[in-house]
Amino acid sequence: MTGSESRFANGPFKGQTLAQAWQVMSPEWTGTDVPRSASFPLLVKFIFTEEKLSVQVHPDDAYAAVHEQAAGGRGKTEMWYAVRARPGAGVMVGLRPEVTADSFRSAIADGTAEGCLRHVPLREGEAIFVPARTVHTIGPGLVLCEIQQQSDLTYRVYDYGRRDAQGRSRELHIEKALAVMRFGQQSGGKMEPAKVQNGALTRTFMAACKYFATERWESAERFETASSSEHFEIFVTLEGTGQIYFGAERVEYGPAQAWLIPAALGKIAMKPVMRTSLLRTYVPESLDAARRELARAGLAESEISRLVHT
């Protein structure tokens, strides 16, 4: 949805790809504190699973900067929000504490790699944080909204022996994966959100890290908000229909849309026709900046410490 080739459906960049527009966006669009990079910093997409995805891991920035310059030199930290989840659906995130590099290599060879991972049941409305270097896979029966660094670096370590119509298996990247994979103490997993009621708007704070901060908004009635001069925002509409008002303008929104909210847009009103649920995400200037925004929203220090991932 916010890939480089995604195109603007309306506004001054209508018809342009996000990659084209990003190169010429002024601070009124990007914000004063968003680090300028070669590509748009956030990738938002939907994932639909009807079978298990491969067991894989993503490198962090330090490894990618040295070994993956041709692929952009950026690692990949991500989160998944469960838009839909069939009964019994789940994901696997992180390794069991007893797993070592040698035992995991052996498990790959004998087809038991999945048994080395921690299983996490997942229901609609729950979210998973997956920091770089955390091995993971996604099970069937899920519709996920994924928010991540703008990077496509993936090291596949196990693919259940699957082959294509020509009998070829997909490439594995075992040595690179083992070089970056986090063993021992794990991080990530299911998030413990914090909820705040602002009039008609319910804000559920999911997670914040140096790459993105994300929360879910829900309302059946009109509510108002305002953009931040420090950063652009992305609204991903999950459910509902209605109108967005800004200045003298009005636009219609519906499910499964991504709206880029310019930093200098100012006051915004949303008027749901049908009860609306959306994800709001942005790139914070720093972890301290993310903490300050959470504090302004009314969260306690204990909640902030739980939500901010270093």
| Contacts for 66 with CB less than 8 Å, ≥ 6 apart | none
Residue where the block lists tokens 């914040």: 208
Q: Are residues 147 and 252 in the same domain?
A: no
Give the pair of three-digit tokens for residue 137.
């896979």
Please count the structural domains in the chain. 2
Would you say residue 19 lies in a domain?
Answer: no
Q: Hey, what are 228's tokens?
A: 């931040």
- How confident is the prediction along the chain (310 residues), in pLDDT tens digits per residue? 899 899 999 999 999 999 999 999 999 999 998 877 888 999 999 999 999 999 999 999 999 999 999 999 999 999 999 999 999 999 999 999 999 999 999 999 999 999 999 999 999 999 999 999 999 999 999 999 999 999 999 999 999 988 887 888 889 999 999 999 999 999 899 999 999 999 999 999 999 999 999 999 999 999 999 999 999 999 999 999 999 999 889 999 999 999 999 999 999 999 999 999 999 999 999 999 999 999 999 999 999 999 999 8
Is residue 1 assigned to a domain?
Answer: no
Is 29 inside a domain boundary? Answer: no
Tell me, yes or no, whether 183 and 252 share the same domain. Answer: no
User: What is this structure's pTM?
Assistant: 0.95
Q: Is the same domain home to 42 and 178?
A: yes
Task: Note whether 232 and 208 are same-domain residues.
Answer: yes
Identify whether residues 80 and 210 lie together within a single domain.
Answer: no
Nearest to 237 by CA among 218, 214, 256: 256
Statement to judge: residues 122 and 146 lie in one domain: yes
**Token representation of residue 133:** 């270097």
Query: Are both 177 and 51 inside the same structural domain?
Result: yes
Whether residue 128 lies inside any domain: the answer is: yes
Buried (b) or exposed (e) across 188-224, using 16+ Cβ within 10 A? bbebebbeeeeeebbbbbbbbbbbbbbbbbbbeeebe
Whether residue 2 lies inside any domain: the answer is no
Residues 51 and 141 in one domain: yes
221: domain range? 194-307
Contact 138, 122 (CB under 8 A): no
Residue 3 lies in a domain: no
The residue among 130, 158, 190 that closes a domain is 190
Are residues 112 and 92 part of one domain?
yes
* Residue ending a domain, choose from 165, 190, 215: 190
